């Protein structure tokens, strides 16, 4: 199942810089692991915002929730999820 996921990150301004850096480092490690596994298919930064648009390819909504909730920045995110399905007018026969 494909999902379009928007993640807006809102770290507290009072968070110590070292803590924020450690969270971001761990976040990158987990995100890259999910990308390498094929679960996190695409990741785009939204220019001018601490936010991203991503495409996840997982077996279920539960698997998506588990993947997202393991991210260290999860407690500081506002997340919007939209399930996707192939459009009948698409010229592509696959998800490339």
Contacts of 8 (CB under 8 A, 6+ apart): 49, 50, 51, 77, 78, 79
Fold of domain 2-84:
Alpha-Beta Plaits (3.30.70)
- Spatial distance between the Cα atoms of 34 and 18, rounded to a whole number of angstroms: 25
> Is the whole model's pTM more than 0.95, yes or no?
no
Give the model confidence (pLDDT) of 40-83 as tens digits. Answer: 999 999 999 999 999 999 999 999 999 999 999 999 999 999 99
| pLDDT at residue number 95 | 66
């Amino acid at each position: 199942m494909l999902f379009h996921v928007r993640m807006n990150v809102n770290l507290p301004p009072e968070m110590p810089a070292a803590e924020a850096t450690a969270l971001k480092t761990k976040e990158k490690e987990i995100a890259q692991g999910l990308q390498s596994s094929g679960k996190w298919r695409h990741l785009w930064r939204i220019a001018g915002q601490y936010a991203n648009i991503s495409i996840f390819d997982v077996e279920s909504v539960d698997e998506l929730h588990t993947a997202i909730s393991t991210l260290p920045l999860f407690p500081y995110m506002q997340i919007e999820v939209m399930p996707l399905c192939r459009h009948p007018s698409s010229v592509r026969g696959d998800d490339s």
